[in-house]
Amino acid sequence: MATPELKDRLQSDLTDAIRSRDELRTATLRMALTAVKSAEVAGTEARTLSDDEILVVLRTEVKKRREAAEAFAAADRPDRADRERAEQGVLEGYLPAQLSDEDVAAAVAAAVSQAAYGGQTGMAAMGRVMGILKPQLGQQVDGGRLAAEVRRQLQG
């Protein structure tokens, strides 16, 4: 089975970071590859993750960095918060570009109209609208951001 391109890119970038003695990138990429390998051996049978599955792992790691940065900032530890934000920035470089707020709002509006046409309105339509949007938008928008916009439009 062929190795996913994203995993190869992470490994290659790690090698480059080690050679250039970039401590931040080296540590962050090692952590990311460890998370990918852990996901590969999780469950009953070891397997190789696809690029889409690796993106899910990287998104999880970005979310962990964002939450840790917020926690360190709240605990008056700006040095650690800055480090977490820097690691988050390195990882975000591997994620696909996110849709703009305007594009997300337009897609949500269309899905809300589609759900209303099917007879579902208000917050009761949340699951239906998310079910329409997730396959359409996929990796182009963070799930939390999408859910917040859907909630906003359904309540408004």
Domains delineated in the chain: 5-92 (1.10.1510.10), 101-155 (1.10.10.410)
CA 140 to each of CA 64, 88, 133: distance values in angstroms, whole numbers, following the listed order: 19, 17, 11
Residue 141 φ then ψ, to 5°: -150, 140
Enclosing H/E stretch for 21 = none
Q: What percent of the chain has pLDDT above 90?
A: 47
The pTM of this model reads 0.74
Is the Cα dihedral 123, 128, 130, 132 positive or negative?
negative
Which parts of the chain are beta strand (E)? Answer: none
HEC secondary structure over 109-133: HHHHHHHHHCCCCHHHHHHHHHHHH
Q: What is the pLDDT of residues 15-65, one digit of tens each?
A: 999 999 999 999 999 999 999 999 999 888 889 988 888 988 998 999 999
CA distance 111 to 57: 27
Let me know: does 126 contact 151? Beta carbons within 8 Å: yes
pLDDT digits (tens, 9 = 90+) for 56-72: 899 899 999 999 999 99
